[in-house]
Amino acid sequence: MCATAALTLSGEYTLADQPVIFVLNGPNLNLLGTREPEIYGTDTLDDIAGHLDDRARAAGAVIDFRQSNHEGHLIDWLHEAQAVGAKAVLLNAAGYTHTSIAILDAIKAITVPVFEVHLSDPHQRENFRHLSYVGMAAKAIFAGHGAKSYELALDVALQL
């Protein structure tokens, strides 16, 4: 396997001989733990990142975990995942899931498998959340299991 650049949880790039999986998080997910805990649970994004990092390390992989409230950052990071040879992307595009044709196009433009992730089940919520542009191009969707949705998606990505 070729060496790949990876951003560690400490924010430093290292040269990794292990597979790299990007975990990209969209708007308002920085507020997890305090934002509507009855819907999203009490785990913070840092809690989720720590669990995924432990799980990935145990499987010999590296997690590159990021969050942004800006659509363009998510698109740039999808392109970057392709450029550095990431094994997969776990994407919780949050509200952009239901609105962003640009993110759909970015997913379609890369060959890295993208897995859609949601803490809640969008199909059990407001009607406007039932449409997923991300899901139109994602390899699979993991939703409705709280923070465990990320772990389920990671387990599948590690099997690729």
Active-site positions read: 40, 118
Rg, Å, the chain Cα set: 15
Q: Are strands 114-118 and 88-92 parallel, antiparallel or unpaired?
A: parallel
How far is it, in rounded angstroms, from Cα 122 to Cα 112? 24
User: Rounded to whole angstroms, what are the CA distances from 38 to 41, 50, 89, 97, 127?
Assistant: 6, 22, 27, 21, 19
Q: Encoding tokens for residue 95? A: 């509200």
The DSSP-derived string for 133-148 is TGGGT-SEEEESSTTH
